[in-house]
Structure 1
Amino acid sequence: MFGLFLLDINQNQWSDVFYNIVSKAANVGTLLGVEGSYDNKLHVMSAELHLPSPVLLTRECYFGRYSKQLSHSTWGVVDISLEKFLPSPTSNFSKRPSGCLITGMPNGYSKVIWVEHVEAEHHADDYFQSLFTSTLAFGATRWVNSLVRYSEWLQSLYATALVADEGVTIAQAGRTSLLKLADRMMKTFCGNVSSTADNPWTQMACSSYVRIMVKNNNIKESGKPLGTSVVFTTSIWLDVSPNRLFNFLRHENSRTKWDALSRRHTIREFASILKGENPGNRVSLMRANNSQGKLVICYLQESYQDSTGSYVVYAPLDEQAVAALIHGSNPDKVMILPSGFSILPGRLQEEDDRNSRSLLTIAFHIVESRTSKPFIAPESVEIIYKVISDTVNSITDSVLYHNHRNNWMDDWNS
């Protein structure tokens, strides 16, 4: 029964499955229960929860998690805050009785009923207040959507081989490598754009809504850049529906409209792995060719959308790395610098909701070659501001112009 993994996961697996919600988690201790049984078990946990933007503060809490077998096929998992017993100056979020009922179905599926009853301090700029006063930020729908996303990812791992451009077949091993690398890319991106205290964000002097984070890695680690890298990001509201913004940003045909590095190139998706029923939820391999038809760079991209948020995340890969991945090489050894977008709706979306607005977060991750120190040169700051300003202007001009003219972005469903 798939849903029972919720009983089995430890704090690391919990933050791994719900990486778009949980920044970090820790198991403080076990108060009830015996080893090897989930029935009548009580854990004490701490957690930090986030939304995908560094301008939106995280929420921290301590809570007890109690699991109980209610019948042969039904389990209950209940969380409740313990701040009265474990007071903490960092706690700004309280869980009233919340949790889920998990029922095994005859067809092997699980039925999950999820309830969230929370109290959260609203310490947020009025610019973003609606995200916290609605059920969007901490409601049950966001948890269930993440659970569905994880289920679809597991199913896609075991699907049949895919056929790429010109009839080239990518075998199961290659498919698995691509999916695992895309998963790491998404987790890194969500971790990078979080406002967790582990991320040393600083505001850019010329714009309070542009954040810069400098990372210095002096230890050679597989899959991570050596030296100084920089993440820079901003968040803006746009009067365009999340669905149309998502389709614009993910589609190969529109990349040249917002990506300055692609404007003289032809972008083509040459392989994709669908995840679930939504054709926009996919892992893609894209190639950028110059005007002479020569390959310049490849991109690994994952796009994902649900009613509580959307992501378009990508990382450049050279031709050798792509060839190795397609043949099933270890994805953990591939160095990636995820960049991309998160999109939060102004409210929970309904089908064909064209009148809603979107909070778009843009994040770029680059290597800073000018220095090996944990700071960046003034000339690099100027370049960063220009890149993010030009990207914001390009996206705004494209989506707002078409938002008033026609609905051509709604037709990009494949």
Structure 2
Amino acid sequence: MDSSIANVGGSGDEGSHNFNRGRRTSYKRLSSAQTSRLERFFRDCPHPDEPQRLQLASEVALEPKQIKFWFQNKRTQMKNQHERADNTALRVENDRIHSENLIMREALKNMLCPSCGGPPCQEGEHDHVIQKMQLENAQLKEEHEKVSNLLARLMEKQMSPPGLQQTYIPIIGSSSHAPGGSSLNQEYSGNVSHDQNLNMQIMDGDHNSFGSEGIEKALMSKVVVAAMEELVRLLRIDEPFWIKSSTQDGKLILQHENYEKMFPNNNHFKGPNVRVEATKDSGIVSINSIQLVDMFLDADKWVNLFPTIITKAEILKVLEIGMVGNRSGALQLMFEQMHVLSPLVQPRDFQFLRYCQQIEEGVWVIADVSFDSYRQKKSFFHSWRHPSGCMIQELPNGCSMITWVEHVEVDDKIQTHQLYKDLIGTGIAFGAERWIMELQRICERFSCFYVERIPNHDCDGVINTVEGRRSVMNFSHRMIKNFCESLTMSGNLDFPHFDLENSGVRVSIRKNINPGQPKGMIIAVATTIWLPLHYMKVFEFFTDDRRRLQWDVLCCGNHANKIAQISNGIHPSNCISIFRPFIPKENNALILQESFTNPMGSYIVYAPTDVATMNSAINGENTSMLSVLPSGFVISADGEPNATLGAFNSSDIGKLGGSLLTVAFQILVSSPDGINMPDMDSVAAVNTLLTSTVLKVKDALNCNNMG
């Protein structure tokens, strides 16, 4: 590099201008010391101001103008060097890409079509071949539709009860929203869902003769249209279909004789263990109707709406997406697993069609009806959903009025446990009232989630931001879902579950590799007991912070300090809490807990965690990958007719009626590297934890004289 100020010419007008302005100045070649000093200063400050130039000029014995021109020329020189380097790099990259392009062109010339094995089309012939294939495809679709419609009409004539066409009374608003178009209702005025023999006859016949996907879709459309027709009547009309029960606080129950006169229906299951459950209820929820419709049609949102009822859900196939804006006409085939959250009760699996229709302005109906594909040679489900679902009516205040009908048939081959016969037999466990109350609870939680500032009644000093509050609520909600899934004691298990000496204790073992839970072997153990106390009295015991040491082994016999609380409902005990247990020589342990209650049941779910994990949530970070392994308690009324389900006042707690308490623990017993199944000592240790906790609870509630 030339260190002479006069000889380092500027680039463009700036260099010439600077050189002319400094023509009258006496220039000389700079010494190495002067150059070194200028170079060091340039690295730190390539644009010196006037005071800096004056100071630098005095240090290197040059005039300020010389300093100014040197820096201008130096900047120009550096810019030119960078541009040359960039140009060189771009030229090399361009050559590389050009070479790769040539190689790919040669490869494409020798490439064969993966479908037919022939050579690819020439560039000039491509458009002609595409146009020809489109014409052929359109002709095939037209022929396929003609054959499908012909077969559908043939099956309808052969299988539809002839008397139903005379009893058809259209009450659905617009048939144009029905899947398959307006002609569907016109051509099919019978009620297929009431005669499920149509579905079964196809299954029993030669299914290869009707193996077209178009035929099945046409059948699905007919089934849901008929199901919608039946459901709307059941939703809008009480008598003569529904009568008030004299033993269940006036709840609506189905009058089967009147129902079957209007909707002749052969039972789906045969045998002495078949049971039909039909309930109806209504209520107001604080959520917008369109939002609610969208959640019903999304499997993940559906599980999030009902975490204590739905443990699994999946959309198997989307047949119609519905109209933009209101989803009217949406039709999809779904799977779901329902559970009553006790290891003593088998979960219920359903494969069903879900159909959404806006029947009038501001009113939607979501209809569910079980459906077995005729490509299935045998149905593996022991539960069958007759037309069920809900009507969603938009209210002016942003809320919605929900009317729910739940109508199922169950083949109870595994006899219901004695403790749950009343709860299930009266429709409390899986009935419409439970769906409504759980929806109301979760909508209260949504309202608390979207608050714009932290409420005054929440504990201050730990969770200081709305983002942190929402993150902790998301973390806790995932904890609830994990706990509810663990109580099925089946499904996705690497090892079989077994009964410990017929004691009522259920144990399952699984190897977890999924994120969000500790990796390794996990033992889940649970049992359900009956207590001669009202369920609210039991719930109040578990939510009393002063009595936590009486049942929580994580407290080591000491009190736990509540350091934060988040309200997530109207009831004061519907909240999320963070506890710091007093454990000698341990300052890193925390407990995340969520408790909530409604007349259908109460829950206390908690999980140990550490300070770093909880700080991530409190700081508003994404909690979906944070590890959590919850345990907890589920409390419900025992289903006796004299039990006061809706009691929240202390004056009602003394009324007759016992409660069912489910106790469940999940314990990590080996690291991710553990490859062997835990031995019986590990199982026995977890069982000992469960039984000792049950004894402590009985003793604290003065129920220790029970068997």
Q: For this structure pair, what is the TM-score category when the shorter chain's length is used for normalisation? A: 0.7 to 0.9
Q: Secondary structure at the match of 1:283?
A: strand
Distance 1:340 1:25 in 2: 23
User: Does the C-alpha gap of structure 1 residues 276 and 16 become closer, same or farther in structure 2, counting only changes over 3 Å?
Assistant: closer
Match of 2:549 in 1: 256
Per-residue CA deviation, residues 141-194 of structure 1 (Å, 9 max, x unaligned), is 111122112212211212222566575552111101110000000000000012
User: Structure 2: which 5+ residue stretches go unaligned?
Assistant: 1-286
Give the AA of the match of 2:661. Answer: L
Question: How far is the alpha carbon of 1:225 from its aligned partner?
Answer: 0.9
User: Does the C-alpha gap of structure 1 residues 83 and 300 become closer, same or farther in structure 2, counting only changes over 3 Å?
Assistant: same
2:504 to 173, 196, 209: 209
1:45 to 299, 322, 334: 334
Distance 2:612 2:489 in 1: 35
User: Does the C-alpha gap of structure 1 residues 66 and 323 become closer, same or farther in structure 2, counting only changes over 3 Å?
Assistant: closer
Greater alpha carbon shift after TM alignment, 110-119 vs 203-212: 203-212
Per-residue CA deviation, residues 7-44 of structure 1 (Å, 9 max, x unaligned), is 32322322232221122223333455646362233333
Q: Secondary structure at the match of 1:102?
A: strand
Match of 1:98 in 2: 388
Q: Is the 8 A contact 1:231 1:364 kept in 2?
A: yes
Greater alpha carbon shift after TM alignment, 117-126 vs 83-92: 83-92
Give the alignment of 1:51-130 within 5 angstroms.
51-83=340-372, 88-122=378-412, 123-130=415-422
Match of 2:539 in 1: 246
Greater alpha carbon shift after TM alignment, 15-24 vs 369-378: 369-378
Give the alignment of 1:4-403 within 5 angstroms.
4-8=290-294, 9-31=297-319, 34=322, 36=324, 38-83=327-372, 88-122=378-412, 123-159=415-451, 160-161=453-454, 167-168=461-462, 170-199=464-493, 202-217=497-512, 219=513, 221-290=514-583, 295=587, 297-347=589-639, 349-351=645-647, 352-353=652-653, 354-369=655-670, 372-373=674-675, 375-401=677-703
Give the AA of the match of 2:645. Answer: Q
Q: Is the 8 A contact 1:45 1:63 kept in 2?
A: yes
- The structure whose Rg is larger is 2
Per-residue CA deviation, residues 36-77 of structure 1 (Å, 9 max, x unaligned), is 362233333232211112221011223222221122211111
Q: TM-score, normalised by structure 1?
A: 0.88
Question: How far is the alpha carbon of 1:121 from its aligned partner?
Answer: 3.0
Q: Is the 8 A contact 1:53 1:195 kept in 2?
A: no
Question: How far is the alpha carbon of 1:88 from its aligned partner?
Answer: 4.6
Per-residue CA deviation, residues 293-323 of structure 1 (Å, 9 max, x unaligned), is x746211100011111211000112122223
Distance 2:499 2:321 in 1: 50
User: Structure 1: which 5+ residue stretches go unaligned?
Assistant: 405-414
Question: How far is the alpha carbon of 1:332 from its aligned partner?
Answer: 2.0
Question: How far is the alpha carbon of 1:273 from its aligned partner?
Answer: 0.9
Distance 1:332 1:34 in 2: 31
Question: How far is the alpha carbon of 1:328 from its aligned partner?
Answer: 1.5
Distance 2:290 2:516 in 1: 32
Q: Which has the higher strand share?
A: 1
Q: Which has the higher helix share?
A: 2
Q: Is the 8 A contact 1:23 1:196 kept in 2?
A: no
Question: How far is the alpha carbon of 1:138 from its aligned partner?
Answer: 1.5
Question: How far is the alpha carbon of 1:201 from its aligned partner?
Answer: 5.3
Give the AA of the match of 1:391. Answer: T
Q: Is the 8 A contact 2:500 2:506 kept in 1?
A: no
Q: Is the 8 A contact 1:210 1:232 kept in 2?
A: yes
Greater alpha carbon shift after TM alignment, 246-255 vs 78-87: 78-87
User: Does the C-alpha gap of structure 1 residues 116 and 67 become closer, same or farther in structure 2, counting only changes over 3 Å?
Assistant: same
Distance 1:33 1:331 in 2: 31
Distance 1:361 1:76 in 2: 35
Q: TM-score, normalised by structure 2?
A: 0.53
Question: How far is the alpha carbon of 1:402 from its aligned partner?
Answer: 11
Q: Secondary structure at the match of 1:328?
A: coil
Give the AA of the match of 1:24. Answer: K
Distance 1:369 1:139 in 2: 40
Distance 1:82 1:169 in 2: 48
Q: Is the 8 A contact 1:305 1:311 kept in 2?
A: yes
Question: How far is the alpha carbon of 1:238 from its aligned partner?
Answer: 1.4
Higher RCO (Cα < 8 Å, 6 or more apart): 1
Q: Secondary structure at the match of 2:504?
A: strand
**Identity, % of aligned pairs?**
29
Residue correspondences, number = 401
Distance 2:544 2:386 in 1: 42
Question: How far is the alpha carbon of 1:374 from its aligned partner?
Answer: 5.1
Greater alpha carbon shift after TM alignment, 34-43 vs 107-116: 34-43
Greater alpha carbon shift after TM alignment, 163-172 vs 130-139: 163-172
User: Does the C-alpha gap of structure 1 residues 266 and 55 become closer, same or farther in structure 2, counting only changes over 3 Å?
Assistant: same
User: Does the C-alpha gap of structure 1 residues 98 and 255 become closer, same or farther in structure 2, counting only changes over 3 Å?
Assistant: same
Match of 1:411 in 2: none
Give the AA of the match of 2:698. Answer: T
Per-residue CA deviation, residues 341-389 of structure 1 (Å, 9 max, x unaligned), is 1122212713235422222111111111388135212222221222111
Instruction: Give every structure 1 segment of 4 or more consecutive aligned residues whose post-TM-superposition deviation is greater than 4 Å.
Output: 30-35, 83-88, 162-169, 401-404
Distance 1:140 1:176 in 2: 30
User: Does the C-alpha gap of structure 1 residues 263 and 118 become closer, same or farther in structure 2, counting only changes over 3 Å?
Assistant: same
